[in-house]
Structures are given as structure tokens and as C-alpha cells.
Structure 1
């Protein structure tokens, strides 16, 4: 079973807790009933409310792998430091030392998003391996049209999102640019499935995998899912 890394389950919950922590703190400090929303929000500053909304958005962005998160995190840290400074310097409930420690802890938390293994998940779908659609090992004839060549080859495996095409004898597939859109014809016994896609990886022979290229579909023939389901697992 493919399981999503714990980071992407824990972090949305952490940021939701941070968003809720402010009104809960207000309720505890001023002894306001937790259900007295008007009383609680009357004690929150506009900066507090903005932070709560931003924490909520970060939770959503982490869950949905939104790259805009990396534009917001530096700004969010500046706002957190500013908010905590004013709380420590001019408030009566927390010292400047306590708020500085809190701000530093939030900075460390934010830096975890920039670790290589996490950062690339936001920026490259290929690293979201737990979302990958199961592949079926199917060898069927392929015709692939590049900008300059018509290539006859066969598939090694197929899924609803892509296909691995075995390298042709002239290595034209390896010469094809990853930027160009390819047209593919998948030749079945009774029909031809027409798809479009781009090369996302080029691989040498390794283990049971032959030399070839992985192609991610950008347009899929409507009959492809039904055909895949009809094939033996």
C-alpha cells in the first residue's frame, strides 16, 4: 500500500492548530468562554486575524502541494516575528524572551519545507509517488510521432497517466526533446488508441526494465481506461 509521507499529514494539522491557538490563548488568558466568539475576537488584533487566516491557507497549501507556499513562507515569518515582538515588548502576558523563542521555533518549522525531499514534492509531480496510478505490464505496438520522426516501437507497461516505451533501434526516442508534445498511437487488436504526451524520463536498461522512455499523457483516448481494466492484472 502506498502511504503518503507523514510530513504531509502532520503539517496541515500543525498549521490548523497554530490558527486555533490564538483564540484559545485569548479565551484562557482573559477567562472568556470558549464559545463566546464575539468576546474572543474583540481581543484579537487585525494582525492576529491575518495570521490565523494565513496559517489556515498554509495548511491547505501543504495538503494540496501549492507551490505558492514558498513565496508566502518568508513573508509569514516576518509577520510572525513582528507580531511576537509587539506582544513581548508592549504586552503584559508574555516576555520578549518567550516571544523570541516562539518566533525562532516557527522559523525552524518553516525551514523543514525547504529540505530537498519535501521541496521537490511541491515542484515535481513525479516525486508524489504515492499518487501514482498502478501500471500494467503490457507489450503493445506503438507509433510515436515526434517533431521530426515517426517511431515504431512497443510499450513495456501502461497506466491511465502514462506509458513506458521501449527504445527503438535508431535511438530516436532518446534524441527527442522532453519539451515537445508527442502524438502516440497504441495499436490494439481491434482499434487504435490515440494519445498525446511528453517524455518525463529516459532510462537505460535496469533489472526487469528495458531501455526506453517514460511518457506522461497530456491527452488520453477515452477508451484507454476501459481497455486497461479489461486486461489481466
Structure 2
């Protein structure tokens, strides 16, 4: 799956696999830590724990494993804490506060950038709340066809964005297989090409299915896809605010959104 990630993503994964050396070197420069105190850091058990988690997260990102993102998230939270400790006990710089703020900004930017690339339906699908709610369950059947073998398949879309989707299916199609797919949602028909970048064989963490990364689609089809994704966003937003409104009002508004028929763009 790593062939479908950016060079920046691969670089970050590679850096984190070399975290024990890279982090020590970067921290020494950023916080102006002398060699004697660097030795104290190396002898600290917390340094080894952080290094193990960082290397593990780097490997997880490199292999584009779903668990890699969560380990990466925990690792960077600990990095911020570690930077605060270094700024307080080890740093000899006159600008420790600015250095810490800079490091925290860098970590936040890194989490945002990596999160946008890995937290997508075809790598890390989110099973929407309506998949487990019988009353508001959205059944979105999709059909797809292999571009190489012309084999047909069908399944249910469980997560979708402008860049790709995750389809629950038992159809056996090889990884990296290009295909074309089509589905209808809220009265809008969408057809787009894509490629299979992820497959799940077990049902422990995710249903058995395939992650499809969309190829560039025609402008009209992209407008159709954008309308569908935006409307799903409205449904999700309403569900999040269900606790601040009456049950009858929530049910009325939700039923209205679920039965909405959008106009097909031309």
C-alpha cells in the first residue's frame, strides 16, 4: 500500500524508524543541550520507551497499517511531553519557551499532514454511526468491474470521501487491480474509476472488503460525488447535535435528510 502514499509520508515514516538518533540530535540543537546532559537523556528509561514507540509507529506508517496511525498519535503526544521535560531540566538555551512552542507547532503540523493522508476511507475507514442504527441505516449498494479481467462484483459502501471509499464485499479481486464502479445515493448516480489499494481478509477490526482510491474523474462526476459527500456530512453533523435538541425534532430532521433527493448535476 505504501506505493500509494506521498514522498513526504514515506520520509516521515523513515525518520521515525531512525527516531533514537534523529530525535536526540534534533533536541540537542533545538534546546542547546550539552553532551553531558545528552548522556543523561540516553540513560533515562523514558527515552527507550519513547524510542520503541516511535520506531514501531514509523514501521506502521511505512507499511500503511491502520494501527500505525494510532501509535504515531500516542508517540507524538509523548514527544510533546518529552520536549517539555527537556526544556525544563536539560536545556541551556535562552529561548527555551520559543523552542518548545516551535517543536509543538511542528508536531501539530505533522499530525495534521499525516492524518489527512492516512485517515481516508481506503486506508482507515470509519464505520459510520448509521451502519449500526437500524432506523437510519443507509444501504448504499455499489457495483464494480475489473479493468483487466472484466470480472464483476458488488457490495455496500461503508465509508466514502472525495478521494476514495471502502466497500464491504466478499468478491475476491486482487490488490492493485484497476476497476470502475458506480452507485446511486440520494437520487444521484456516480460512476468513477479507481484502484484497489487495501483488502481486509478478517472481520476483527473491519468488515471484509476493499479500499478503493479514486482515479481522476470527470468534472461532472466529481461534482456529483461532492454533493453526496456534503449531504452525508450534514447527516453526521445532525447526529452529533442530537443531545441538544428534542427527540421529536431530531427524528423529524433526520427523516427529512435521509429521504432527500438531490438534483443530478449536468
Q: TM-score, normalised by structure 1?
A: 0.47
TM-score normalized by structure 2?
Answer: 0.42
